[in-house]
Amino acid sequence: MIYADKISFNQNDKHTLKTIVQIHLITEEPEKWKLEDEVINGWFKKETIYRWLKNKGDSGFKIEVSTKPKTPLLEPVKDGTTLYVRSQKDETKDDNLLLLKAYYEQ
């Protein structure tokens, strides 16, 4: 399984799903999880993850948000021309993706 465990924002941006710049992905089996000949382990633009989920989701490609005890799945979302991802809805007030440790772009 692939997990999202960190998110990044530009300095001074409000922390919203649409302003996430990159998402850090980890996997227990990096040699197994590759897309476009790229090992899925590291930081990836949210738009890239959107495309992966949109294009490969029907074939079983899934990413879980690394929050305990639940690990909701990420899903692709398009708002006008803005491509982003969010976690599937649950009882949390804020999206689970926004609960991950946040970093700032250099």
User: Which residue ranges make up each domain of the chain?
Assistant: 2-104
Model pLDDT for residues 7-27, shown as the tens digit of each residue: 999 999 999 999 999 999 998
Residue 30: predicted pLDDT: 66
Per the prediction, the chain carries an average pLDDT of 91
pTM: 0.91
Environment class of 87 (CB within 10 Å of its CB; exposed 0-12, middle 13-18, buried 19+): buried
Query: How far is residue 5's CA from residue 26's CA, in Å, rounded to a whole number?
Result: 7
Model pLDDT for residues 40-52, shown as the tens digit of each residue: 889 999 999 999 9
Query: How far is residue 97's CA from residue 87's CA, in Å, rounded to a whole number?
Result: 6
Asked whether the bond before 72 is cis by omega within 30 degrees of 0, the reply is no
Residue 74: predicted pLDDT: 97
Residue 68: predicted pLDDT: 83
